[in-house]
Amino acid sequence: MLKTLCLSIAVLAMTIGLIPQAQAFTKDSLVWKKCTACHEPAGGKIPRVEEIRTTPEEWTVIVDRMSRLYGMDLNKKEMDTLLKELCSTQILTPDELDKVSYLNLLNNPQTMENPVGAEQGKMFTTCVRCHSAGKINSYRMNAASWPKVRDLHLYLYPTTVYQMREMKWVPEADAVLANLAKSHDYGQSWKAPADKPTGSWLILGYEPGKGEYRGQATITSVGDDDYTVQGSLAFTDGTSENFRGDATLYGGHALRSRTAHNGLKTLGAFSFTNGTIKGEHHYPAPDFRTSSSTWYPAAGTPKLLKVSPGYLLTGEKTKLVLEGIKLPGATAADIKFSGGSVKVLSVRRIGPEALEVMAVSSVNS
């Protein structure tokens, strides 16, 4: 009886061991249908695909390369679906993506990249001669995947060795990639949060050449992490903009918008985290203006969010604009300052979410 029981337990254990691990992509997914023709599933995972985490923009580059070089048949609608599926688990975390967010809009942001430390210096010498550091920092891969970056370059761009003839590119690239395998390791697949950006939003932002602005927007879901967006902005220079368009949420946090502001098309890249939306939208040529903004839930509790300008001139009257959610009516006696002797002369409402305050400081504030 005991032998029979032990044998049954052993057989059960072997059977459990044969049960495949849960896969990030089911056989019904577009990732499975499009990628497994070349990347044969092994151990319950799709090789290469599930060994990389990167941004929606870099996944676009990767998928486009598969289409151009290896003949993967893909139409526009399928590309949109494929990117959403890939980013559901194979995207950077919000903190990781934030560090390379200056590349999101592909708008030549003029960000100065400087190496910190000897290892980054070697990476700049080996890689940043052709790529931005942001592109390299946009990837997290396992130890087996990083060396394949070298192989890809030697296969697609064999002249790399000769163009970099002042260095021993292959061994030096190997050393850099070995270090990246440690500093930019795969970690673990991403799990998208359940929160969605639907609802009404208060927008506070700044646009070079036009100044500060505030506005409102409504985001409505149309299903499958796609949304419609519409709203308006009022600038301190007296101008205003109405905008409408659509947006896509990747991995539960990377929000990408395509809107028209007073008829001018813009692209937006935002991070939806901790209940707020923060990022930029960019006008194409010839304007090349990039506007930065933060969106706050309009249905939140009363809260002061912004004071501009952020300073007072000693002995001079200064006009301050207080902006926030559901700001109540106030008198001069209701406004208090910390860190200095400030006298509030007057308060008046200039909008449903803004108050104008005239104040004077008698000490440096």
Examine the domain organization and report whether 85 and 167 are in the same domain: no
5 has pLDDT over 50: no
Using the 3D structure, point to which of 162, 191, 220 is the last residue of a domain. Answer: 191
Examine the domain organization and report whether 254 and 283 are in the same domain: yes
- Could you tell me the pLDDT band of residue 283, with boundaries at 50, 70 and 90? confident
Using the 3D structure, point to which of 256, 274, 297 is the last residue of a domain. Answer: 297
Q: 187 lies in a domain? A: yes
9 has pLDDT over 50: no
Q: Which H, E and C letters describe 229-295, residue by residue?
A: EEEEEEECCCCEEEEEEEEEEECCCEEEEEEEECCEEEEEEEEEECCEEEEEEECCCCCCCEEEEEE
Examine the domain organization and report whether 203 and 288 are in the same domain: yes
Give the chain's largest Cα–Cα span: 96
Examine the domain organization and report whether 211 and 239 are in the same domain: yes
Examine the domain organization and report whether 160 and 183 are in the same domain: yes
Residue range 215-238: average pLDDT? 97
- Could you tell me the pLDDT band of residue 10, with boundaries at 50, 70 and 90? very low
Examine the domain organization and report whether 265 and 312 are in the same domain: no
Question: Which among 208, 231, 217, 232 has a CA at the least distance from the CA of 282?
Answer: 208
Mean pLDDT of the chain: 91
14 has pLDDT over 50: no
Q: How far is CA 121 from the centre of its chain?
A: 26
Q: 19 lies in a domain? A: no
Residue for token pair 């990476």? 123
Examine the domain organization and report whether 179 and 222 are in the same domain: no
Q: 8 lies in a domain? A: no
Using the 3D structure, point to which of 66, 91, 116 is the last residue of a domain. Answer: 91
Q: What is the pLDDT of residues 143-180, one digit of tens each?
A: 999 999 999 999 999 999 999 999 999 999 999 999 99
pLDDT of residue 96: 98
- Could you tell me the pLDDT band of residue 352, with boundaries at 50, 70 and 90? confident
Domain with 315, as residue range(s), is 303-361
pLDDT of residue 363: 65
pLDDT of residue 110: 81
Q: 223 lies in a domain? A: yes
pLDDT of residue 314: 87
Examine the domain organization and report whether 213 and 275 are in the same domain: yes
Q: What CATH number should be reported for the domain holding residue 42?
A: 1.10.760
How many Cα atoms occupy the beta-carbon half-sphere of 46 within 13 Å? 23
306 has pLDDT over 70: yes
Examine the domain organization and report whether 80 and 143 are in the same domain: no
Q: 16 lies in a domain? A: no
Examine the domain organization and report whether 205 and 286 are in the same domain: yes
- Could you tell me the pLDDT band of residue 298, with boundaries at 50, 70 and 90? very high
Q: What's the total number of domains in the chain?
A: 4
Q: What CATH number should be reported for the domain holding residue 237?
A: 2.40.128.120
Examine the domain organization and report whether 128 and 80 are in the same domain: no
Q: 160 lies in a domain? A: yes
Examine the domain organization and report whether 266 and 344 are in the same domain: no
